[in-house]
Amino acid sequence: MALDTRPIGVFDSGLGGLTAVRALCRLLPGEDVVYFGDTGRVPYGSRSRETIVKYARQDVAFLRTFDLKAIVIACGTVSTTALDVLAAENPIPVLGVVGPAARAAARLTRSGRIGLIGTQTSVRSGAYERAIHALNPAAQVTAQPCPLFVPLVESGRFRPGDIVIETVAAEYLEPLRAAGVDTLVLGCTHYPLLEEVIAACMGPEVRLVNTGAEAALAAADYLRAHGALSGRAEGGSCRFFVSDRQEDFACLASTFLGRDVTEAVGQVDIGQY
Ligand code: DGL
């Protein structure tokens, strides 16, 4: 079988895509990954479609300065808004998070009552609902935008015991609790960083779908099915680029990934792309 040692590109508006990187590195430890987090322009989730498409094109143009074998859009907002555009414009596979998350939700739900939380743009797009209904037309989807979650996560306010995030989460999640959902799609890749806070609000019976991790699983399956893995069992590298201060990102990324990545983080002027 052909081997492909080129890196996988992954991007997000900021830290959230690290939920996909963490899963990807565990699933495929022999793959090289190049990550871009647009920390200078986060959040994307309250912006217009035009702006999101423009930013996403620049993010991809930067990543493609590396010779990549595939790109994972580890961002719910870009996946719900610009996946078609990016897939049509690029000669390498461009994979998003919506399909993998919808498949997981349809598989996990028992009652058919599925909750969805995401950015305003993702919820407004209806993309997750369409993907879930394509798999389970009888599913009842209750959707709730959570616009404060991304800025709070980017500020490092994601740990249990943090009164600010716990107060905001309790308010946002109340309609989903009232709807009696048994499965909750964390439709923004930042939200798995809030997994403990969200799980404490929703209770132990509600299954949480980690969109970043599901996207990584789907990407691994895709590469395997297309004979595009590196053939290495371990030793893959991860490089990270951000569009604003690398120190803050390096610190939070090191905590989240459980290893010091400071030396692997660089800064880029994304406006050039
Ligand atoms: N991680 C992005 C997402 O999945 C956050 C979007 C934002 O920057 O608002 O939607």
| Mutation choice for ligand 1 from 10, 12, 18, CB with most ligand atoms inside 8 A | 12
Topology of 98-211 in CATH? Answer: Rossmann fold (3.40.50)
Contact 188, 13 (CB under 8 A): no
Mean pLDDT, residues 37-46: 96
pLDDT in tens, 112-135: 999 999 999 999 999 999 999 999
Predicted confidence band of residue 272 (pLDDT cuts 50, 70, 90): very high
Is the pLDDT confidence value at 264 over 60? yes
Q: 132, 138, 150: which is closest to 16 by C-alpha?
A: 150
Task: Kindly give the distance from the C-alpha atom of residue 227 to the centroid of ligand 1, in angstroms, as a whole number.
Answer: 31
Structure tokens at 108: 């996990």
Alpha helix positions (H), 64-205: 76-89, 98-108, 120-125, 127-135, 149-154, 163-178, 195-202
- Tell me, in angstroms, the distance from the centre of ligand 1 to residue 77's CA: 5
State the distance from the centre of ligand 1 to the C-alpha of 233, rounded, in angstroms.
Answer: 31
Contact 270, 62 (CB under 8 A): yes
In this predicted model, what pLDDT tens digit does every residue of 236-260 receive, in sequence order? 999 999 999 999 999 999 988 999 9
Query: Pick from 142, 143, 201: which is nearest to 171 by CA?
Result: 201
The domain limits of the chain are: 8-96+213-272, 98-211
The whole-number pLDDT of residue 269 equals 97
**For residue 262, how far is its CA from the centre of ligand 1 (angstroms)?**
23
For the CA of 190, the closest atom of ligand 1 is: 1
Residues 6 or more apart whose CB falls under 8 angstroms from that of 155 comprise: none
Which residues form the catalytic set? 75, 188
> Can 8-96+213-272 and 98-211 be said to share one CATH topology?
yes
- From first CA to last CA, the distance across the chain in angstroms is 35
Q: Whose CA is nearest to atom 8 of ligand 1?
A: 43
- The highest-level CATH class for domain 8-96+213-272 is alpha beta
Give whole-number Cα distances, 117 to 62, 80, 133, 240, in Å.
Answer: 29, 13, 16, 27
Report which ligand 1 atom has the smallest distance to the Cα of 42.
8
Q: Which of 108, 107, 103, 180 is nearest to 140 (CA)?
A: 180
Q: Tell me: pLDDT of 1 over 60.
A: no
Q: What is the pLDDT of residue 188?
A: 97
pLDDT > 90: what percent of the chain? Answer: 96
DSSP state of 270: G
Query: What's the chain's average pLDDT?
Result: 96
Residue 103 has pLDDT above 80, yes or no: yes
Contacts of 262 (CB under 8 A, 6+ apart): 250, 251, 254
Cβ atoms 44, 118 nearer than 8 A: no
Pocket of ligand 1 (CB under 6 A): 12-14, 16, 42-45, 75-77, 119, 122, 150, 188-190
| Residue 2: predicted pLDDT | 65
